[in-house]
Amino acid sequence: MLSLQRQGRIGFFVPSSGEEACQIGSMMALEPRDWVFPAYRELGAAIWRGVPIETVIAQAYGNAKDAQRGRQMPSHFGASATHFVTTSSPVGTQITQAVGAAWAAKLRKEDVVTLTFFGDGATSEGDFHAGMNFAGVFKTPTIFFCKNNQWAISVPVSRQTATKTLAEKARAYGMEGIRVDGNDLLAVYSTTKAAVDKARSGGGPTMIEALTYRMGPHSSSDDPTRYRSKEEVESWARRDPIDRMRKYLELKGLWTKDRDDALRAELDDLIQTTIKEVERHPPPPIETLFEDVYAEMTPQIREQLEAFLASGERRRPEMLDKFPL
């Protein structure tokens, strides 16, 4: 996807290399009925939850194949069917939304847990403090999953807080804070599963600080070589979470190089085939702007649609038949 952006075939992309264990390990601990409130780097989490590869790629193109019809910037996907809430760009806003959804579930006596992802930079936002405080007071079944990837774009974590850890902030809000190796998939799963079980049983929220590293740029618009050293990146590359899991499985006799090569080839083929399929589609029809404002088109919006259809060459009277008053 980053290559597609460099070629000018899509406009923007947010990579997540290096953070795979955080995303997959935490999602393994949830049930389908639970809700996920992501930041903008949770591609692996989305795929684990069941968001199709085609949906993710089409969303980056924003064409007629895109379920969001090109109305959201790339890498801001979501799918209600898999309880994966659409991403928003403002930093930290998903935190209070996750708490609100958990509070609603608790009031309705629904067996639902919410998990929200955010980065180390988001702990400097007011939404973080408001969400943590409310969750602590009302004991909402919320997991606050902080992916401490060391950098908030070009600002290091050392400039975000005077505390030794981010996890210790949880104590001020009356909840447990846990620090975990975010590049160890099994450790992430175990920690998140314990927090989910506690929340589901009425034990309230937990904050997890997962230590990891953003191997690539913040986004396709960023040049990380301007603010971090090659040595730092190389040091974290030696702790790559996918490499670690692969080596662990090989030592257990559960995986081989041949199977690894075959799987990578299979996935590369799937991605290339999906890209070709998505690229065949034209931009979304302009008329769709009128369709999704309300579940049922209001007389005022129908009037706007009629004015649009009568205004130029794009005369589509069949559209009017779709929305009778």
pLDDT digits (tens, 9 = 90+) for 200-232: 999 999 999 999 999 999 999 999 999 999 999
Looking at residue 315, its pLDDT comes to 47
Structure tokens at 284: 């979304």
Strand order in the sheet with 206-211: 35-37, 114-119, 142-148, 206-211, 176-181
Asked whether residue 303 falls in the same domain as residue 225, the answer is: no
Which entry of 6, 33, 227, 281 is annotated as an active-site residue?
227
Residue 177 bridge partners (DSSP): 207
> What region does 83 belong to: left with phi over 0, alpha with psi -120 to 50, or beta?
left
Asked whether residue 118 falls in the same domain as residue 181, the answer is: yes
Asked whether residue 174 falls in the same domain as residue 232, the answer is: yes
Structural domain count of the chain: 2
CATH code, 204? 3.40.50.970
Q: pTM higher than 0.75 for the full model?
A: yes
Give the structural domain span for 145: 2-274
Looking at residue 325, its pLDDT comes to 46
Asked whether residue 36 falls in the same domain as residue 122, the answer is: yes
Asked whether residue 249 falls in the same domain as residue 316, the answer is: no
Q: In this structure, is residue 279 part of a structural domain? A: no
Asked whether residue 30 falls in the same domain as residue 141, the answer is: yes
pLDDT digits (tens, 9 = 90+) for 80-96: 999 999 998 999 999 99
pLDDT digits (tens, 9 = 90+) for 27-80: 999 999 999 999 999 999 999 999 999 999 999 999 999 999 999 999 999 999
Asked whether residue 51 falls in the same domain as residue 194, the answer is: yes
Which entry of 41, 69, 76, 218 is annotated as an active-site residue?
218
Asked whether residue 244 falls in the same domain as residue 307, the answer is: no
Higher pLDDT, 193 or 305: 193
User: Nearest CA to 10 among 70, 54, 76, 74?
Assistant: 74
Looking at residue 320, its pLDDT comes to 52
Q: In this structure, is residue 283 part of a structural domain? A: no
Asked whether residue 59 falls in the same domain as residue 203, the answer is: yes
Alpha-carbon distance 147 to 97, whole Å? 18
Asked whether residue 260 falls in the same domain as residue 313, the answer is: no
What DSSP state is assigned to residue 72?
S
Q: Is 227 a catalytic residue?
A: yes
Q: Is 214 a catalytic residue?
A: yes
Looking at residue 293, its pLDDT comes to 85
Q: Is 9 a catalytic residue?
A: no
Asked whether residue 297 falls in the same domain as residue 207, the answer is: no
pLDDT digits (tens, 9 = 90+) for 240-275: 999 999 999 999 999 999 999 999 999 999 999 999
Using the structure block, give the residue that is written with the tokens 């259809």. 309
pLDDT digits (tens, 9 = 90+) for 115-155: 999 999 999 999 999 999 999 999 999 999 999 999 999 99
Alpha-carbon distance 135 to 116, whole Å? 12
Q: In this structure, is residue 281 part of a structural domain? A: no
Looking at residue 108, its pLDDT comes to 97
